[in-house]
């Protein structure tokens, strides 16, 4: 099994850029194997990005995903930060050996 | 528009069985895989299990012996049963449509808060 580690929180001012990391312990990310979900307070999660960098329908291009193989981590970048981006963000991958889903612990984004 | 609507009992006593159902509207039930995920209050997401088009299931090993996921294609819905619940099973439970590759949820139910309390 592997774990996904995210920072507990990140913050930024409106219009700025924030980046959320998701570091995998053990093994390595396959290039298309990370997903990102957004969960606003009191709401169900919604899917932002799949396959590491493919935005779901309706997701603005201010949201982008990437993988850095050298650090075995994935990142979600939010540019042009808006107050509506205040939410919890979760990364997720799949353990193909044990056939189970793995979620990161979530990162709270605060817009200052 | 594709929607998932879930329902079930929201308050259980310890040792009872949690039972939730998720109905699929606007999509072919048999053409997809389906999953259950939960979120304890103030905590992160935890995958519970999934069911394939053919009815095969796969569960989180930490819950496996207590979890049953089933589907009724004639009614376009799938269900979750979790036996012998304790307070630790208190959570919001979400159903979801699971994409085969890469594995993820592309459509979420609205969530159901299940509280286990004596």
Instruction: Indicate whether B33 pLDDT > 70.
Output: yes
Interface probe, candidates B5, B45, B57, B93, chain A, greatest A C-beta count within 10 A: B45
Nearest to A101 among B47, B106, B107 (CB): B47
Enclosing H/E stretch for B33: strand B33-39
CB atoms within 10 A of CB A12: 17
The mean pLDDT value of chain B amounts to 94
Give the pLDDT band of residue B30 (cuts 50, 70, 90): confident
Chain B environment of A52 (Cβ under 8 Å): 102
Q: Cα–Cα distance between A73 and B35 in angstroms, integer?
A: 26
Q: Looking at residue A32, what is its pLDDT?
A: 64
Chain A environment of B35 (Cβ under 8 Å): 101
Going edge to edge, which strands form the sheet with A18-25? A3-5, A18-25, A73-78, A63-68
Q: Looking at residue A47, what is its pLDDT?
A: 96
Instruction: Indicate whether B53 pLDDT > 90.
Output: no
Q: Looking at residue A79, what is its pLDDT?
A: 97
Task: Report the share of chain A in percent with pLDDT over 70.
Answer: 98
DSSP label at A9? E
Q: Cα–Cα distance between B80 and B95 in angstroms, integer?
A: 9
The closest of A81, A98, A102 to A33, measured between CA atoms, is A102
The closest of B84, B78, B60, B63 to B20, measured between CA atoms, is B78
Chain A environment of B109 (Cβ under 8 Å): 44
Sequential DSSP letters for A42-103: TS--EEEEETTTEEPTT--TTEEEEEEGGGTEEEEEE-S--GGG-EEEEEEEEETTTTEEEE
Give the pLDDT band of residue A69 (cuts 50, 70, 90): confident
């935890």: which residue's tokens?
B46
**What is the pLDDT averaged over residues A48-58?**
94
pLDDT tens per residue, range A95-111: 988 889 999 999 999 99
* Range 53-112 of A in CB contact (< 8 A) with B: 56, 90, 92, 94, 98-106
Task: Report the share of chain B in percent with pLDDT over 90.
Answer: 81
| B100, two tokens | 């085969």
Give the pLDDT band of residue B29 (cuts 50, 70, 90): confident
């Amino acid at each position: 099994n592997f774990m996904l580690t995210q920072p507990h929180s990140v913050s930024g001012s409106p219009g700025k850029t924030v980046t959320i990391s998701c570091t995998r312990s053990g093994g390595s990310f396959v290039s298309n194997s990370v997903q990102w979900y957004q969960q606003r307070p009191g709401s169900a999660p919604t899917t932002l990005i799949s396959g590491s960098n493919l935005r779901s329908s309706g997701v603005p291009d201010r949201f982008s995903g990437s993988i850095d193989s050298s650090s075995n981590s994935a990142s979600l970048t939010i540019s042009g930060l808006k107050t509506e981006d205040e939410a919890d963000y979760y990364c997720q991958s799949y353990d193909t050996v044990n056939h189970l889903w793995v979620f990161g612990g979530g990162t709270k984004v605060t817009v200052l | 528009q594709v929607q998932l609507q879930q329902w079930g009992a929201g308050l259980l006593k310890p040792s009872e069985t949690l039972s939730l159902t998720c109905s699929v509207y606007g999509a072919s039930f048999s053409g997809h895989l389906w999953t259950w995920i939960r979120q304890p209050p103030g905590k992160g997401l935890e995958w519970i299990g999934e069911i394939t088009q053919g009815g095969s299931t796969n569960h989180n090993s930490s819950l496996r012996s207590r979890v049953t996921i089933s589907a009724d294609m004639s009614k376009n819905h799938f269900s979750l049963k979790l036996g012998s619940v304790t307070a630790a099973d208190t959570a919001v439970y979400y159903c979801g449509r699971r994409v085969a590759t890469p594995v993820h949820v592309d459509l979420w139910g609205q969530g159901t808060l299940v509280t286990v309390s004596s």
